[in-house]
Structure 1
Amino acid sequence: MAYAFPTDYAQARQEFRYAARDAGARMRSFLLPGHRGPTGEELRTDTAYLGPATPTRLLVTVSGTHGIEGFCGSACQTRILLGEGVAQAAAAEGTGVLLVHALNPHGFAYQRRVTEENVDLNRNFVDHHRPPHNDPYERVHGQLTPHHLNAFRTQELAVALGRLRDELGPQVLQQAVTHGQYRHPDGLFYGGEGPCWSNRVFRTVVEEQIEGSGATRIGYIDLHTGLGERGYGEPIFRGGPDREARHRARHWYGTALTASEEGTSSSTPIVGNTATAVAEGLRADRELTAITLEFGTQPGPEVLLALCADNWLHLREDPVKAVQSDLKSLIRAAFSPVEDQQWRAQVLQRAREVFSQALAGLNCTHQEER
């Protein structure tokens, strides 16, 4: 079967499952209760595992943490790891490969970054009894969420965001917006008031399929879009519980590796991401090397405008009507420009390269990494 970039969540899930079945993967499925997709389809997070029953090395990839970004992530998982045999080759050498597909299925199906509760899943893995504060967001919330508008005026908001960017500076604005905030459920990058469904599912996957695998060396790649140079996949260091994690990641991914905390990344520092959940769910003797693989799409101002438009749309419309709106073209262009053949080709080539680097890294000895 020839796999292509999917055009909707249902196609993505079908092709992922077909590819997993053809590869002989062991599968699990988690149903999102109380919700259906735009055409009535079930919404599920699926996992597929290839490899020995008790691997010593495990590569984990996740797609759809930010719903609509799953179009890219799903294609990478389906076509690169399964359709082109990379996972089978790794499994044959004794390395386990676990693919978590559509971690946020509602956002995937309705072409949103956020969950059914307007929660940014990649800011949800925090202590909700003591959520981190993001006071700078208070300065920009009102301008990012123009609730008073009866019609979304794209050019008008673009000009307002441009003035805000000039006033604060691009870096300060990006940090204020994207760091994560926990006070405005109607706002951008809202981390939620408690663990959402996708959070709970992922913690189950971590406990039962990552920690539960028994693997002592774990490579982790969360697939994202929206930041950086168009078509390029930037490996962003997301940590590990041991002191050698950063050095190890540099050995695996070379000088391309960036770090938000060092100011070398297209991403500013964030809190509550999925890599946090993996690190927290592992025993002390496990070795975790975690990255985000971020594929660029559009310049930052256009991406922010698309986020504002999508937030405004879904606060006013039924989800099924919203997904049919012309405004959806903005968020598709910002996070899933799948009509661009060159972009698709660049993504798949880069994904294959980074996955291969991770597998090679997992097979390195500690002596080689030093």
Structure 2
Amino acid sequence: MAYAFPSDYSQARTEFLRAAEEAHARLRTFTLPRHRGPDGGRLSVDTAYLGPAEPAKLLVTVSGTHGIEGFCGSACQTRILLREGLARSAGPTTGVLLVHALNPYGFAYLRRVNEDNIDLNRNFVDHGNPPHNDSYEHVHTTLVPSNATGFPGPELVKGLTALRDRLGPLTLQEAVTHGQYRHPDGLFYGGRQASWSRGVFRTVVDEQIAGATHIGYIDLHTGLGERGLGEPIFRGGRDAGAHDRARRWYGDALTVSEEGTSSSTPIVGNTATAVSDGLGPDRELTAITLEFGTQPGPEVLFALCADNWLHLHHTPADAVRSELKHLIRTAFNPADDDWWRARVFQRARQVFQQALAGLADSKPGEAT
């Protein structure tokens, strides 16, 4: 295989930057202040752009919104768009923007959340009036066990099983994953203010995305749905034709959380919201999350609870070396599974090509 998954954040960034430079991409770097990686290195969001100076059409891909999920996203960006040259085949009026490691701290420390335990994909909300998730109040104490002397694995399994039996799998998923804004020590915490990564992304939207007329947006994720499937989940575009356009691009595989057809329940405050908020009324956005399943939902939730407990009771340096880290690695980055990895590359390549073909069919000046 020409390019496998990276072994850590540092390798991912090195390979991405090398491939971007070889492709003659225009690079930009935003360095996270006051934090270093486990190896002492800097933590950065990097963007690479290929295409005309002022593109009418733009494909945007984002990796690492959920830190540890960046192993998959980075590999797809580096291998398919850069090393295989797919980004250079976009056409004379189309640009390709790659946003690498939007949550570099989570990537480096093998966390889904950022340096403040914030789920970045729930952080793009009005923090003066955040959406409240009443259902989460009933599950928080089970998800966040207070035992500090040792990881209470069997008790956690028992508690999660009881919640699932009492609420049902879908109701439990909705309660946990919708996003919550009252428990800084909890899961899917959207924060009480804008995170550093949110500020970086808003800058990227304003300065590198908003000028295009037609934007195809793909946020790369793992951990949800059928193993290795690569599910395109509709995330918007606020013009009236956005859904139909996404259906033309991605076919019957497209799912919609709000219609109950997706492995994802409806969420708030995601990155596609930030893109929509940053565009003028004459811009056309076709946004999806590309989600690669890994493990059954109960196992992923257990891994998230274990990792949350680990970082609540240990320093980041100790936590990242803990044997418990194998749980979250397996849940979001099963990179030792050749079958899974091959399916990821095959499907990502197909979706990237579908997005570029959809953009090619868009006619500049016709967005409404």
Q: When the two structures are superposed, what TM-score results if normalisation uses the length of structure 1?
A: 0.97
SS at match of 2:182: coil
Counterpart for residue 52 of structure 1 = 52
Structure 2 counterparts to residues 273-292 of structure 1, below 5 A: 273-292=270-289
In the TM superposition, what whole-angstrom CA distance separates every residue of 1:212-246 from its partner, at most 9, and x where no partner exists?
A: xx210000000000000111100000010201000
Query: Are 1:10 and 2:10 counterparts?
Result: yes
Counterpart for residue 190 of structure 1 = 189
Contact 1:64 1:103 survives alignment (8 Å) = yes
Distance in 1, Cα, partners of 2:133 & 2:345:
36
In the TM superposition, what whole-angstrom CA distance separates every residue of 1:268-298 from its partner, at most 9, and x where no partner exists?
A: 0000000000000011101000000000000
SS at match of 1:308: helix
Structure 1 spans left out of the alignment, 5+ residues: none
Q: Measure how far apart 1:153 and its partner are.
A: 2.6
Letter matched to residue 256 of structure 2: A
Contact 2:123 2:270 survives alignment (8 Å) = yes
1:295 to 273, 276, 292: 292
Distance in 2, Cα, partners of 1:200 & 1:2:
35
Contact 2:335 2:341 survives alignment (8 Å) = yes
Contact 1:3 1:15 survives alignment (8 Å) = no
Query: Are 1:251 and 2:245 counterparts?
Result: no
2:306 to 305, 309, 314: 309
Counterpart for residue 142 of structure 2 = 143
Q: Measure how far apart 1:155 and its partner are.
A: 2.9
Distance in 2, Cα, partners of 1:55 & 1:262:
33
Counterpart for residue 233 of structure 1 = 230
2:268 to 250, 268, 271: 271
Contact 2:145 2:152 survives alignment (8 Å) = no
Letter matched to residue 202 of structure 1: F
Distance in 1, Cα, partners of 2:123 & 2:322:
28
Contact 2:123 2:195 survives alignment (8 Å) = yes
Distance in 2, Cα, partners of 1:78 & 1:328:
25
Alignment: residue pair count: 366
1:220 to 217, 221, 225: 217
Letter matched to residue 150 of structure 2: A
Counterpart for residue 167 of structure 1 = 166
In the TM superposition, what whole-angstrom CA distance separates every residue of 1:163-212 from its partner, at most 9, and x where no partner exists?
A: 1101000000000000000000000000000000000000000000001x
Contact 2:218 2:290 survives alignment (8 Å) = yes
Contact 1:67 1:112 survives alignment (8 Å) = yes
Distance in 2, Cα, partners of 1:364 & 1:256:
20
Q: Measure how far apart 1:95 and its partner are.
A: 1.0
SS at match of 1:182: coil
Distance in 1, Cα, partners of 2:2 & 2:34:
33
In the TM superposition, what whole-angstrom CA distance separates every residue of 1:114-154 from its partner, at most 9, and x where no partner exists?
A: 00000000000000000000000000000000013421132
In the TM superposition, what whole-angstrom CA distance separates every residue of 1:326-360 from its partner, at most 9, and x where no partner exists?
A: 10000001001111111110000000000000000
Distance in 1, Cα, partners of 2:45 & 2:78:
14
Distance in 2, Cα, partners of 1:269 & 1:162:
23
In the TM superposition, what whole-angstrom CA distance separates every residue of 1:229-268 from its partner, at most 9, and x where no partner exists?
A: 1111000000102010000000000000000000000000
Letter matched to residue 257 of structure 1: L
Letter matched to residue 79 of structure 2: R
Cα RMSD (Å) of the superposition? Answer: 1.5
SS at match of 1:289: strand
Query: Are 1:359 and 2:353 counterparts?
Result: no
Distance in 1, Cα, partners of 2:3 & 2:46:
18
Query: Are 1:242 and 2:236 counterparts?
Result: no
Contact 2:148 2:313 survives alignment (8 Å) = no
